[in-house]
């Protein structure tokens, strides 16, 4: 995990080819249940580390609220936001960011209150993990979000 590099140009080309700017949230985020690769059950570690390719890696977690009221945020990231965020991180002096997406639901009423991706550096793999998040769309108010589950993980 964490191999490759982020190219804003390549990502924009792929975004146009995939039709991200014209597709609805439901057309992009097609998971109908948690992706088995993002199920935290049984995972002991998610690793971000330096390598020959990325000697100055920095682990960054982007936690996404996937309850019903916040599903527009991941959609915005796919359409426009992610390239700006990663480009800004790199331009701020972090040459080797390794980003992991978390899906944060509601531990009181959602079936999958926590989803955990992998730390990645390439634009293609970041898109893969982002679009593999299940936008469960549940939630039960403002008291049950699973931020502490992410912290414990």
| 2-57-34-71 Cα dihedral, nearest 10 degrees | -120
pLDDT at 100: 97
Residue-range domain boundaries for the chain: 8-30+47-152
Specify the pLDDT at position 65.
87
Per-residue pLDDT reduced to its tens digit, 13-50: 999 999 999 999 999 999 999 999 999 998 888 899 99
Give the pLDDT confidence score for residue 108 in this predicted structure. 84
Q: Kindly report, residue by residue over 88-144, the tens digit of the pLDDT.
A: 999 999 999 999 999 998 888 889 999 999 999 999 999 999 999 999 887 666 666
pLDDT at 1: 63
- Rounded to whole angstroms, the Cα distance separating 45 from 75 reads 27
Per-residue pLDDT at 136: 87
Question: For residues 11 and 65, what is the distance between their CA atoms, to the nearest angstrom?
Answer: 23
Q: How many CB atoms lie within 10 A of CB 111?
A: 11
């Amino acid at each position: 995990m964490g191999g490759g590099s982020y190219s804003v140009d390549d990502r924009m080309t792929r975004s146009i080819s995939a039709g991200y700017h014209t597709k609805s949230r439901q057309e992009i985020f097609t998971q109908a249940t948690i992706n088995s690769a993002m199920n935290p059950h049984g995972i002991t570690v998610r690793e971000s580390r330096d390598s020959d390719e990325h000697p100055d890696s920095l682990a960054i977690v982007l936690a996404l609220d996937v309850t019903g009221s916040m599903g527009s945020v991941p959609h915005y990231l796919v359409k426009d936001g992610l390239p700006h965020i990663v480009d800004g991180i790199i331009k701020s002096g972090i040459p080797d960011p390794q980003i992991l997406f978390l899906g944060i639901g509601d531990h009181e009423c959602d079936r999958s209150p926590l989803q955990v991706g992998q730390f990645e550096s390439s634009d293609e793999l970041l898109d893969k993990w982002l679009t593999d998040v299940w936008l469960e769309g549940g939630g039960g108010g403002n008291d049950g979000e699973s931020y502490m589950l992410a912290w414990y993980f």
